[in-house]
């Protein structure tokens, strides 16, 4: 009997124990009949991990906190988008040559694009960290008129300069007028689910409000926005779509987005029951 070994993929980060990427990608491989396995690799040795990826012939890797920028010098090539954003969340191994990509911003824009056409819309981007950088870059590419709202002025101004857009301190966010609000800070994440970085009276009926957080699925910010009549989008959609774009890069085939969403939602809803 001839044994055909599975192709190996994974997620590299630290910590990695709570990552939902294995559940999502293994479900996608299974439904498509792709003979592959996706694991979770927690490491404090980034250089050694990338050498290991080459040595073991691991076909693709998701990269997460704290390695998204630090991994760049260890790769053979960078996709222009990842290079411009300055962060890699996906590695593709083509016969030993490792190329870095960034699907985070694209995932966010796909999630938003299911609800609204971003071109020409005014968008307040809340936060100025790694997620804001990728999302903001793609939002600008999609034709949105951006304003960065952030707690710390230095970081906020730096991102606004990168995105060539205005900056406003977070405590003055009410002064902005927007069609879309994208929340990218960790405020409101489990276990601090009652917190929100944005005052409720910021939300107007016609606004579309997206949160990068996906645990809980509906944050306090999204609850408030929904109560005031806004269309809301959970961070889960962004997570699913960034993963779907990874699947497309690795396999060259269309991602089973609904299966990926169902797999992750199942785990998240069970977690909520246990708490
Ligand atoms: P990060 O680089 O650490 O940036 C954090 C940002 O949040 C900074 O702008 C920081 O402001 C702000 N912030 C932190 N605590 C705050 C507070 N108490 N009040 C106001 N602002 C505060 O983090 P990141 O990598 O961008 O990740 C941010 C969030 O996005 C996380 O919850 C992460 O899970 C989520 N995310 C989701 C996806 C997805 O696929 N759905 C993908 C990536 C990230 P200062 O500059 O003032 O410190």
Does any ligand 1 atom lie closer than 6 A to the CB of residue 239?
yes
For range 193-200, the mean pLDDT: 95
**CA 261 and chain centroid, separation:** 14
* Alpha helices by DSSP H, 60-193: 80-85, 104-113, 130-141, 153-163
Residue 130 has pLDDT above 60, yes or no: yes
Residue 119 to residue 141: CA distance in whole angstroms: 9
For range 141-164, the mean pLDDT: 97
Is 250:28 a contact under the CB 8 Å cutoff? no
The confidence score (pLDDT) of residue 166 equals 98
Report percent pLDDT > 70 for the chain.
98
Residue 274 has pLDDT above 50, yes or no: no
123 φ, ψ (degrees, to nearest 5):
-130, 130
pTM: 0.94
- Contacts of residue 100, defined as CB under 8 A and 6 or more positions apart, other chains included, come to 63, 71, 72, 75, 77, 78, 79, 82, 88, 90, 91
Encoded tokens for 159: 């991102």
For range 231-255, the mean pLDDT: 97
For range 235-258, the mean pLDDT: 97
Residue 240 to residue 166: CA distance in whole angstroms: 30
Residue 154 has pLDDT above 90, yes or no: yes
**Pocket perturbation via mutation, ligand 1, pick of 18, 149, 157, 186 by most ligand atoms within 8 A of CB:** 186
* Alpha helices by DSSP H, 114-234: 130-141, 153-163, 220-227
Residue 63 has pLDDT above 80, yes or no: yes
Residue 53 to residue 169: CA distance in whole angstroms: 42
The confidence score (pLDDT) of residue 271 equals 66
Mean pLDDT, the chain, integer: 95
For range 34-46, the mean pLDDT: 97
The confidence score (pLDDT) of residue 272 equals 59
CA of 6 to the centre of ligand 1 (A): 36
Q: With cut-offs at 50, 70 and 90, classify the pLDDT of residue 273.
A: very low
Terminal CA-CA length for the chain: 47
The confidence score (pLDDT) of residue 96 equals 95
Catalytic residues: 68
Does any ligand 1 atom lie closer than 6 A to the CB of residue 167?
no
171-177 long-range Cβ contacts below 8 angstroms, 24+ apart: 173/124, 173/126, 173/149, 173/198, 173/199, 173/202, 174/199, 174/201, 174/202, 176/124, 176/147, 176/149, 177/122
Residue 255 has pLDDT above 50, yes or no: yes
For range 171-194, the mean pLDDT: 95
Residue 249 to residue 180: CA distance in whole angstroms: 29
Say which DSSP state 5 is in.
P
Q: For 7-31, what is each residue's pLDDT tens digit? A: 999 999 999 988 999 999 999 999 9
* Alpha helices by DSSP H, 62-197: 80-85, 104-113, 130-141, 153-163
Does any ligand 1 atom lie closer than 6 A to the CB of residue 66?
no
Does any ligand 1 atom lie closer than 6 A to the CB of residue 213?
yes
Q: For 72-124, what is each residue's pLDDT tens digit? A: 999 999 999 999 999 999 999 999 999 999 999 999 999 999 999 999 999 99
Which residue has a Cα nearest atom 45 of ligand 1? 152
Report percent pLDDT > 90 for the chain.
91
The confidence score (pLDDT) of residue 4 equals 87
Q: With cut-offs at 50, 70 and 90, classify the pLDDT of residue 275.
A: very low
The confidence score (pLDDT) of residue 269 equals 83
The confidence score (pLDDT) of residue 17 equals 86
Residue 190 has pLDDT above 90, yes or no: no
Is 200:207 a contact under the CB 8 Å cutoff? no
Is 36:6 a contact under the CB 8 Å cutoff? yes
């Amino acid at each position: 009997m001839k044994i055909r070994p599975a192709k190996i993929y994974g997620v590299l980060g630290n910590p990695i124990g709570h990552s939902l990427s294995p559940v999502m990608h293994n479900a996608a491989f299974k439904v498509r009949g792709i003979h592959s396995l996706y694991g979770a690799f927690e490491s404090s040795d980034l250089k050694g991990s990338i050498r290991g990826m080459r040595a073991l012939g691991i076909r693709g890797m998701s990269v997460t906190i704290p390695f998204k920028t630090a991994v760049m010098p260890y790769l053979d090539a960078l996709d222009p988008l990842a290079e411009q954003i300055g962060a890699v969340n996906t590695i593709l191994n083509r016969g030993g040559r490792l190329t870095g990509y960034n699907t985070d911003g694209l995932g966010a824009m796909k999630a938003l694009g299911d609800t609204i056409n971003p071109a020409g819309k005014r968008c307040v981007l809340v936060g100025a960290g790694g997620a804001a950088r990728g999302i903001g870059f793609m939002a600008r590419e999609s034709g949105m008129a951006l304003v960065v709202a952030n707690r710390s002025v230095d970081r906020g101004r730096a991102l606004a300069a990168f995105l060539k857009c205005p900056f406003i301190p977070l405590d003055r966010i009410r002064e902005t007028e927007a069609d879309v609000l994208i929340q990218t800070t960790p405020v409101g994440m489990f276990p601090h689910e009652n917190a929100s970085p944005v005052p409720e009276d910021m939300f107007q009926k016609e606004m579309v409000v997206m949160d990068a957080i996906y645990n809980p699925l509906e944050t306090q910010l999204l609850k408030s926005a929904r109560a005031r009549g806004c269309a809301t989008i959970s961070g889960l959609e962004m997570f699913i779509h960034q993963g779907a774009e990874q699947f497309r890069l690795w396999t060259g085939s269309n991602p089973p987005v609904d299966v990926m969403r169902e797999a992750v939602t199942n785990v998240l809803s069970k977690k909520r029951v246990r708490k």
